[in-house]
Structure 1
Amino acid sequence: MGNQILLLITFLAMTCALVIAFEPSPLQDFCVADTTSSGSYRINGFPCLDSKLATAEHFFFSGLHIPGNTSNPVGGKVTPVNVGQIPGLNTLGISLARIDYAPWGVIPPHTHPRATEILTVLEGSLNVGFVTSNPNNKLISKVLNKGDVFVFPVGLVHYQQNVGNGIAISLSSLSSQNPGVNTIANAVFGSNPAISEDVLAKSFQVDKSVISSIQAKF
């Protein structure tokens, strides 16, 4: 009897784990984001526009052929294609981004809290990498060339750098219609209101004057 109860508990635990681990299949063909709705009700996305009002424009974006402007301090520019650009992506769990890099330009260390990213190099060479979680914080990095593909696991800090004297271009696919982005430097040194200099000075083991200088840039 005891073994039967143990087996039943184990079966129930496994069943619950499977239910938690997988999202249910969509119950409709699509859910075009209704960004004008005044309602506050959300189910992992925007409210659905009446499907009878859907048009081809809700599933369309034009512009990935246009180079991004890399005339900025980091020399990198992201052109996103997520639910903000294509309302029809709402609830579908996928998005894209074109990334342009000036010579030696970077996309600074950042995370996507809601998505794994798979990057393909279209032009040039990139040094890419991500850092594993505490306590190891291992850097896993590689130099990629045209046609190469690299994966950044969801939530981990990662970066890209053009390691050539010409332009570089990459295309990223992300496993969320709205992956989010949290650039580490912006979050730490450019928060609003600012994190106290004392906290940051102790965290980075530097003088407060160094923190003040960095915060001024953000």
Structure 2
Amino acid sequence: MSIPKTYHLVTLGCPKNDVDSEHLERMLTGGRLEPVDEPSAADAIIVNTCGFIEQSQAESMETVHELAAGKREGQQLIVAGCMTQLYGNQVRQDVPLIDHVFGAGEWQQVAKLLSVDVDAVFDIPETAARVDGPSAYLKISDGCDAPCTFCVIPKIKGKLRSAPAGLLLREARRLVDAGAKELVLVAQDTTAWGEDLGMPAASGLP
């Protein structure tokens, strides 16, 4: 199979997935891959799935089925994200035309699969999404330590992992410099930020 030159990325679910997809895109474009608007024009089709509730799982599966049905010879169909973290084997069985399955947070592996030199773009942070309008998302942490019996997030995202304050401030400045007028902080549990770093929430921020 030839080295892919173009990709089409579909993002489903919450703003945190938007940030993850932006992180992946920055790696891919840093590796000289070109985004395309139509799946039919892409060498690689990537789906960032959502698996939080049944409705979002159904939407993710419908999207994957549609893309698989239109897949042409030589294309790669890559399915990743929250739903495949929980149900990766089942998804692959249900849609045999899928070429590769990755779990949540395995974005560097996706980039490596598409021949991106991840070491060369390793300093790309995972915290901020692009500026599209007056607002931009800034992901302050990933994962959750709360033992809620009704919530599947800890099984998908794992334990709380807070982004350091210095990184968040640099990314916030980058977004503001790019034109953002409002920064929306996103996380599975925004109030728990910093607890895993040995500080109370909001400590260390001006």
Please give the TM-score of this superposition, normalised by the length of structure 1: 0.26
More strand, by proportion: 1
More helix, by proportion: 2
